[in-house]
Each structure stands twice: as structure tokens, then as C-alpha cells.
Amino acid sequence: MKTWYIRRNNKNLGPYSVEELRQLSLTHEDYVWKEGLANWRRAASLPELEPLLTTTIPPPFLSQKNTAANSTLLGMFQKRSRSYTASNRAKSRIRTRLIGIGILLVLSLLTYIIYANNQTRYLSPFSTVKPAEEIKTEVLQTEKQNPVSYISERTSNRQNLLGQTVLEGTLTNAATVANFKDVMLKVDFFSKTNTIIATENVSIYEQINPGQTISYKKKIYVSKDVANVHITVIGATPVN
């Protein structure tokens, strides 16, 4: 029954029967396949093919009178056999390397697709590209919904001669598109024992554009001595 295929010279040959495989001088390095095998297998890895394997072919018998010629032919045959075996081994190594490179390329592509799908700023090469205006609108809505995430402050404080706590600092808008105004600050005043002695809400009535930093100055009177001040941005009004 002709069920076997053999891989030689980068071609699939067959189908062959077991007897035909024997006539093809099946070697340990040959790859074979038949229905039921998941992949091509080396002939040497299949016990049922072991009786068919040959590594060398005996030379033709020559009379003793032709001893010199016999030695020459035998040497040529052995050299050709070694060359054939080395060639098959080299091809096998090349195939193994190509398979390894193919696997790496597939893994790299899968890694890129997974990474791109998890990033809002990167689009999968297989996804539909959104218009720039639509993307801008989505970013604007996201930034407007949570201004506290985009506005940061840096503030220093000092006491003036009138006993007021003077707050001097900057506000920075890290948003990409959204403009904000009326930034609300919560100011906690601490005593020397690190106890809150007063809390005030302060509004900064200026507009802050995307990427802009503005300065502000506020004076607040607290009845007790202030040792330290902690400021938190608690809100702002979107402009656009």
C-alpha cells in the first residue's frame, strides 16, 4: 500500500510503499510522512522503518587482479557517501534554523498585537483608524471629566508683618486639549505639633491652557501660629 512520502532536494516525493522506500536507500537523515503523523519525522525516529535504513551501499565486486582499481573505486564511493551525509546534515541544520527564525517572527508579531491592543495611543495594524477629530474629542471628554488628574501645584508659604499667611506658587495644566479655570485649592494649616488648626478653600480665577503654568498669590489670616501648609487641588471648571 503506497502511503509513505519522502522529503528530498526540498521536494515532497511519493506516495511510496515500504518496498519502494527500501529501493530508495532510505537513510537516517531522510524525513518521511504518512497519514496519522502530525509532522514530518526523521526515518531513524520511526521503529517500523529501521529495517529499511541504510547508511552505505556495498561497492561492486572486482576481481583480485584489479586491486588497485578496486581501492580507487572504494575510496571514491566512501568519499561520496560522506559528502552526501554531510550535505544532508547541513540541510537539516538550515531547516532547523529557519524554523526557529519563523517561530521568533510569529511570537514577535503576536507580542506587538497584544501590546498595541492594550495601548490607547497605538492602533493595531488590523483595526480601523479613527479620524483625528474623533480622537481629539474623546481625549477632551476624558480630560474634562477629571481636571484634578491634570492640574498640579507647587506652593511656598511665609508670614507677613500683618500676621497673614502668604501663599505663593504655580499651577500647571498637563492636559493635552482641555482648558480649565476657577481652580479650587484646599489649604490645610498645621501647628508646630503637626495638628491641623484651620482649613480654607481658595479659588484661583484664571484660565490655564493645555501645557501652561500660571503663578498665583493668596493671603489668608489664621488666628494661630502656622508652622506648615499643605495644599490640594480639589477641582476646576472646564472651559471648552
Q: Could you read off the pLDDT of 89-104 as tens digits, one per residue?
A: 888 889 888 898 989 8
Is 47 a member of any domain? yes
- The 8 Å CB, 24+ separation contacts for 32-36 are 32/4, 32/5, 32/6, 32/7, 33/4, 33/5, 33/7, 34/3, 34/4, 34/5, 35/3
Q: Using the 3D structure, point to which of 45, 64, 90 is the last residue of a domain.
A: 90
Q: DSSP characters for 61-116?
A: P--GGGHHHHHHHHHHHHHHHHHHHHHHHHHHHHHHHHHHHHHHHHHHHHHHHHHH
CB 214 within 8 A of CB 171: yes
CA dist., res. 52 & res. 164, Å (int): 102
Q: Using the 3D structure, point to which of 54, 71, 90 is the last residue of a domain.
A: 90
For the stretch 131-185, pLDDT in tens is 888 898 999 999 999 999 999 999 999 989 988 999 999 999 999 999 999 999 9
Is 217 a member of any domain? yes
Burial of 87 (0-12, 13-18, 19+ CB in 10 A): exposed
Residue 170: give the domain boundaries. 146-238
CA dist., res. 219 & res. 206, Å (int): 17
For the stretch 57-101, pLDDT in tens is 455 555 555 556 666 666 776 676 666 677 778 888 898 888 989
Q: Using the 3D structure, point to which of 44, 74, 90 is the last residue of a domain.
A: 90
- Domain of 223, CATH number, reads 2.60.40.3230
Shared domain for 150 and 234, answered yes or no, is: yes
Number of domains the chain is built from: 2
Is 125 a member of any domain? no
